[in-house]
Structures are given as structure tokens and as C-alpha cells.
Amino acid sequence: MSDNILYTNAERFEQDVLNSDLPVVLDYFSEDCAPCAALAPMFERLAERYGNRLRFVKILRQANRALAERYGVKSSPTVMFFKDGREVGSRLSGYIKKPELRKAIEDVVGADQLPAEKPVVNCDVLILGGGPAGLTAAIYTGRAKLNVILLDEGLPGGQAANTYHIANYPGTDGVVRGKDLMEGMLKQAVSFGVKVEDFKEVLEVDLTGSTKVVTTEDTIYHARAVIVATGAQPRKLPAAGEAEWRGRGVHYCATCDGAMYEGKNLIVVGGGNSAVEEAVYLTRFASKVTIVHEFDHLQASKTAQDEAFDNEKIDFVWGCHVVEVNGEGHLTGLTVKDLKTGEHRFVPADGVFVYIGTQPETTILQGQMEITPQGYIMADDNMKTSLPGVFAAGDVRNKTVRQVVTAAGDGAVAAVQAERYLAESQ
């Protein structure tokens, strides 16, 4: 437990938050919540950096439900800002990234003064991203006695570290905790001399030359080769009202937020494995779950489909695209458009859970290499991109199967090819 973070409850809320002499950033968190676990170390690190200008406070949502309901908090984690006894700034919820939280903090207290001159650090291989692809690449390049640096925006492990159960990973009993698997990979990479630098925000890249240049908030890295393994994040619902209702009725984690909808009517948007499996999971609490999907069939596995079709609590709305999230005081449902007729209709619900795929983390790479319209990096079977000395691995790469094991395989191939590239370019 960090000395820079204050834990409060409903009884002390007025004293600790509303009457604070400093602005407050408040994290409503839950136990057994993967996005909350991902946010926790980031919250601590930012508390060290901004603690003299902002009070960092955490409150357990499950133990303070009445207070959470008073402020309309329906998602874990939800981050709120208070100043002079009232809420200010923007709320954040779900899988929160460090740049997103840092910007929200600086909107309240002002930006940090960045160093005028940044040190330059040289390496053989720079790996961007510390998920299973990046960590596997680090293990292989480190074992090859190369000078390797791995940068990660948060803590290494990626989405896999926040997945409680990973099934079918080779060499396990069938199910392994994501955190345990990723900690083992990280430990192995470090044992081979890889330098791991976490909570690094990449501000600018130039991968076009023989020396690759990557700039973060405090360091400039020069590398002879780069492996991009930045992964992907859950895709937000592209509908009017999503931002307004995110964390107040629109959710991206059924495990985190499903229990609060006991006896309620829910919608799940999507038709893949995650959508269908989570819809089935939500029937433990909800009286009814409606799957809204833009196609006339599901893309989930046969097993998952059979379980959903056999569940009497699950209904389906086929061939419809979500155009708006509706509510007044509380979420009331979705407006959907029939893709065949063009007609709009209202689907009532008390909450919405979204599983419509992932968004690759490639914004900063646009214009430097060949990237699909969906944002995925084009790379061949050897993980080579359109730029010499730049390789892509894992979920960020344009491919059809995205699993932890395939990400690790990509990382191994990228590492071997990077080693060969360096040997040939000497």
C-alpha cells in the first residue's frame, strides 16, 4: 500500500474528498476486477509524480455502494476528479491507459515541465510493448546476447496479465492465470539481461532510417532494430452517447460490472467468442440478455453458440448497427439501425456490455509503414514490415488468429529475424 495514496470510505468521504485542500483524483475500484488491477500500479506511479499538487484517493466500490450510486458510478474502475467540493474534469472508466489518465490529471492541475534536453540511450533492439509477443521477443533477443530494451506504457504483461484464466496454453494443466504466465516471461527476459522500462509514453518515432529513433517523455532511444508489439485495446462502441454513458451504463468488462445488474435487462453488443461467452456469464445476474449483432449469424465457436442458443434468458437482435445510447438520468437502452431496411428502433435495457473486437495501438506509427485501414501493421510470415529493421509481432499485426500462444510465436520469429537483420547489416 503506497504512502502517496489515501484509502477512504463513505463515512470519511466528505473530509477526505469534498473538503480536501488539494484537488482530488478518486479511483472507485472493485475486487477481482482486471481493469482495476491494471490501473493500480499506474495510479501509484502517478501519485509519486503529482502527489504534491493532487491528492490521490481510492475507494472500494463494493463496500460503498450507496455512495457510488449517489454519484452515478456503475463501472470499475471509475476515476473522478474533485476540486473545492465538486466534481470537475472528465470521468474515466474501464481499461484506462497512462496517457489518458495523465492528460486528465494535467487538465486539472497543469502539465509537468518536461526536461529541455533528454538523454540519448543506444541499443541493438528496442521492443515496443511488453505483452506475450514483446516479452517472448525480449527472451530470444536477450538470450542472443544483444543489447535489448523493452518499453511498455504500463506494467509488462499486457492484456494477458489481466486475464484471470488463459486456457490451452502449451505446457500448462489446461488453465493458467495470466498474471502468473506473464510474470514468468518477464522474469525470464530480465534473467537474459533485457532492460525493462515500464510506464513509458512514446511521444514520437522515426523508424525510417538505419538508426531508429523513439522519443518518450524523458528519454530518446536509438536502436538498430525495432520490434513493434504494442498490442490492441478493446474497441469502444462507435455510437452517439457512448462517452456520456461509459461507466454509467455502458461497460466493457462483465466480470467487473455484471453483478450490479441483478434481475435487470442487459444488452451485449457483438457476435464473437467474447461477446457470446460474456452474454452467457451475465445470465447469472440478469433476468434477460439481448445480443445485438450486425450480422445474421454469430462468429463465436460452435460450443459458445450452442450454449447461448440453449439459454432461455438470451435473445437476439440480428442485422442491426448501434447508432445511439439512450438515457435520461439512467441508461434506458440503445437505438439500432436495421442494415437491410434502414429503419431505426429502440431496444430497452438497463445496461450495455460491448465486445466488438480490438483497436490496434498504431496511431503514432501512421504514415511510417504499411498499415491496414483498420490500423493493423502489415507484416509477412517473418514478421518483417515495409521498413527494413522494423518487425511486428502479436495482436498489432494483421492476422486472423489472436491468442497468447500465437503472440508468443510471433515474438520468437520477430526476434530471430531481428538478430539476422543485425548480423547482415554490420
Cα 56 to Cα 275: distance, rounded to the nearest angstrom: 34
**Residue 256 cell numbers, joined:** 467487473
- Kindly give, in sequence order, each residue whose CB lies less than 8 Å from that of residue 265, ignoring residues fewer than 6 positions away: 286, 287, 288, 290, 348, 349, 350
- Kindly give, in sequence order, each residue whose CB lies less than 8 Å from that of residue 34, ignoring residues fewer than 6 positions away: 162, 163, 164, 253, 255, 256
Cα 383 to Cα 102: distance, rounded to the nearest angstrom: 33
Cα 46 to Cα 6: distance, rounded to the nearest angstrom: 14
How much is the CA Rg of the chain, to the nearest whole Å? 23
Catalytic sites, residue numbers: 253, 256-257
- Kindly give, in sequence order, each residue whose CB lies less than 8 Å from that of residue 45, ignoring residues fewer than 6 positions away: 199
DSSP 260: G
Q: Which residue has the cell 518515432?
A: 205
Q: Are 378 and 385 in contact (CB under 8 A)?
A: yes
Q: Are 27 and 86 in contact (CB under 8 A)?
A: no
